[in-house]
Amino acid sequence: MDNQKPLVVITGASRGIGLALCRFYLERHCDVVAVVRKTSVDLDALGVEVIEHIDVTRSHDVAELQRTLRGRHIAILINNAGLFHNETLEQMDFEAIEQQLNVNAIAPIRVTHALQDNLSTGSKVAMITSRMGSIADNGSGGYVGYRMSKAALNAASVSLAHELKPKGVALALLHPGFVQTQMVNFAGDVSPEVAANRLAARIAELNLDNTGSFWHANGELLPW
């Protein structure tokens, strides 16, 4: 009966929110596939299936991920891998901007494209975005590359939501909150475990009627 378990695929699972999501779905008796560049002691301790050496920005690696998962139905695909820098007019770093566009905006589309044959009626896709990608919500500036990359992810994801809907696949854009991870030097106000619980609650509520929505993990709808 093991192959009846829902399969949850999570990128950026070596630490932080991705690792907490792996633990969450493992404890809910799902089959979890953790997609990482390099595994970690914490991930190995979970005992989930790990697909290593996948840099989500590299087409060769994502093709390898596609081959490894061929023929397996994915219940939930969580595009979580992300990169965060700060650029301002005074402190500009175009290389960092390009990297963030690659990791945060293009890679989730690359991965979803590669795994589309694994998705069918009832499958769900979660894009872990950020409210920093909201243009309407930008009241403080800075973070040029991160904001651009998450806004681009949001724009592209709405297109994917439209395309996936006739296939019975729903997609959500989810802001996890300000989460205590390495990305923010552990300065967040919620733990990765709390964020994972909240994200999973949003994914549970996701359906074909609310597909394409941009939510805070706490359930609040966010402005574009």
Ligand X SMILES: NC(=O)c1ccc[n+]([C@@H]2O[C@H](COP(=O)([O-])OP(=O)(O)OC[C@H]3O[C@@H](n4cnc5c(N)ncnc54)[C@H](OP(=O)(O)O)[C@@H]3O)[C@@H](O)[C@H]2O)c1
The site for ligand X (CB under 6 A) is made up of 12, 14-18, 37-38, 55-57, 80-84, 103, 128, 130, 175-176, 178-179, 181-184, 188
Instruction: Give the integer Cα–Cα distance in Å for 77 and 159.
Output: 17
Nearer to ligand X, 100 or 211 (CB): 100
Nearer to ligand X, 135 or 168 (CB): 135
Nearer to ligand X, 77 or 168 (CB): 77
Using alpha carbons only, how large is the chain's radius of gyration in Å? 16
Half-sphere exposure (CA, 13 Å, Cβ side) for 75? Answer: 15
Element (H, E) at 127: strand 124-128
Instruction: Give the integer Cα–Cα distance in Å for 190 and 188.
Output: 6
Nearer to ligand X, 161 or 199 (CB): 199
Cα angle 75-37-175, degrees, rounded to a multiple of 5: 55
Contacts of 192 (CB under 8 A, 6+ apart): 16, 17, 19, 20, 179, 180, 181
Q: CB of residue 3 vs ligand X: minimum separation in angstroms?
A: 27
Q: CB of residue 177 vs ligand X: minimum separation in angstroms?
A: 7
Element (H, E) at 48: none
- One-letter amino acid identity for 133? G
Nearer to ligand X, 119 or 194 (CB): 194
Written as six digits, the tokens of 77 are 């695909």
Q: CB of residue 79 vs ligand X: minimum separation in angstroms?
A: 8
Instruction: Give the integer Cα–Cα distance in Å for 134 and 154.
Output: 9
Q: CB of residue 14 vs ligand X: minimum separation in angstroms?
A: 4
Beta strand 76-79 with 7-11 is: parallel
Nearer to ligand X, 53 or 167 (CB): 53
Q: CB of residue 55 vs ligand X: minimum separation in angstroms?
A: 4
Q: CB of residue 31 vs ligand X: minimum separation in angstroms?
A: 20
Q: CB of residue 43 vs ligand X: minimum separation in angstroms?
A: 9
Cα angle 90-96-97, degrees, rounded to a multiple of 5: 80
Nearer to ligand X, 126 or 164 (CB): 126
